[in-house]
Amino acid sequence: MGCFASKSTFEKAFEVGKVVGSGHFAEVALCVEKKTKNQYAAKIINKEHLVNTDLLVEEVDILKKVRDHPNVLNLYQTYENDESFYIITEYCSGGDLFGRIVDEGHCSEQRTVDIMYQLVSAIEHIHKCGVTHRDLKPENILLESTGRNARIKVADFGLSKLRTSGDSIMKTVCGTWAYCAPEVIRKKYYDQTVDNWTLGVLMYIILCGYHPFDMYGDSPEADLMKRIEKVEYDFDDEVWLEITQDAQDIITKLLQSTPKRRMTCTELLETPWINGKIDVKNATNEKALKNLEALVNIRRAIRITGFTTLAAGKLKQKLRKNQSMRKKKKEEDEKKKEENEKKNNNSSEKESDDQKKAWSEIVVKQEQ
C-alpha cells in the first residue's frame, strides 16, 4: 500500500523481542533496530486477518499528521511484506497512566495539574490536525519511561477519525462506553468535543480515584450508560474536600451534555488552575489513592481474566481440532475395516461357492 513506503524486509532491519500486547487482528512486540540499537514497539497486523485495509491506511495517515508533539506517540517507520503490515512507533516503557500513579503511590492535585496540562496540550494539537481520537482511556495514555518526570504519550489511534474539508461531524459508534460522551451513547451525530468530555472523565478519576458515573466500578453497562446520558454525577464524597473548587468547575464545564457548551482545550489551557496560578496541594490525597488502587486492581483483574479466557478459548479450539481429527481417523478406520470385511466376505463366499461346485462335481462322478 502507498502509506507503507518502505519495501525492505522488517526482519532484516529489526530484531524482534517479546510480545507485549495482542488483539483480534494484531499484536505488539518489542523490537530493536539493528543499525542503531534503539528500542521500538512494532504493531504487527496479519494480512490474512485484516478486514478493512482502508482503516489501516487511515491510522497510518493520522499517525503521520499528529506525531510532531512531545505528548503524542511518535511514528517511526512502516513496513510491508506478503504476510503482514508493520507499524513501528516509539516504545513507552513506563506503562499506562493510572497504573503508574498507583505504583508510585503519589496522587495529588498538583500531580493532576501536571498530567492534565500534557494531556490537554496533546488533544488540542490532535484536534488542530483535524483528528478526533474517539478512544481516550487510561490504557491509551502511556508514560515514555519509568523515570519520575516521564512525559505522557497519547497512543492508539486505531479508532481515530481524520476529518476532511467540510466534514465536521461523525456518527460511528465506537470507543469504550465508560469514557463515551452522551451523544455517542444516544447514537447521535457528534464532533471532536467527544474528546473534551473524556478529558473531564479522566480528570475526575485522577483527582478522586473513582469513575464519575460508576463510583464502585461494578455498575451494569445499561445503568452506567443511563447515568452518562443524564449526566448524573456529584462531588459529594469526602475525597473532594481536599480538592479546589477551580478543579471541580473545570470538570463541570467539560462534562456538559450539550457539546457546544463544553470547555475547549484552548480555554482549559488558559485557566489559572492549569497554569499554576492557583494554590493546590502537592501532598498525596490518601483516600483518592486508595480509590484509584481499587480501580486499577479491577482493571488488572479483568485483563488477567481476558487473557485466561483467550488462552482457554485457544485450548478449547485445539481440543476441538484434535477431537475432529480423531473422529475423522476413527471414521476412516471403520470404513477401511468395513471394506476389508466386505472383501473377506466376498472372498469367503467365493471359496464357499468353489467348494460347493467341487463337491457337486464329486457327487456327480460318484453317481455315475
Catalytic residue annotation: 135
How far is Cα 77 from Cα 75, in angstroms, rounded to an integer?
6
Q: What angle do CA 22, 26, 29 make, to 5 degrees?
A: 60
The three grid cell numbers given for residue 289, joined into one nine-digit string: 489513592
The three grid cell numbers given for residue 364, joined into one nine-digit string: 456327480
- How far CA 66 is from CA of 44, 57, 69, 132, 156, in Å, comes to 21, 15, 7, 11, 12
Q: Give every CB contact of residue 76 below 8 A, 6+ residues apart in sequence.
A: 40, 88, 89, 90
Q: Which of 78, 170, 64 is nearest to 126 (CA)?
A: 64
The three grid cell numbers given for residue 7, joined into one nine-digit string: 519495501
How far is Cα 40 from Cα 231, in angstroms, rounded to an integer?
41
Q: Under DSSP, is residue 152 helix (H, G, I), strand (E, B) or coil?
A: strand
How far is Cα 302 from Cα 320, in angstroms, rounded to an integer?
26
Q: Give every CB contact of residue 70 below 8 A, 6+ residues apart in sequence.
A: 151
DSSP per-residue letters across 27-91: EEEEEEETTT--EEEEEEEETTT-S-HHHHHHHHHHHHHH-SSTTBPPEEEEEE-SSEEEEEEE-
Q: Which of 205, 195, 197 is nearest to 98 (CA)?
A: 205
- How far CA 356 is from CA of 53, 343, 368, in Å, comes to 76, 20, 18
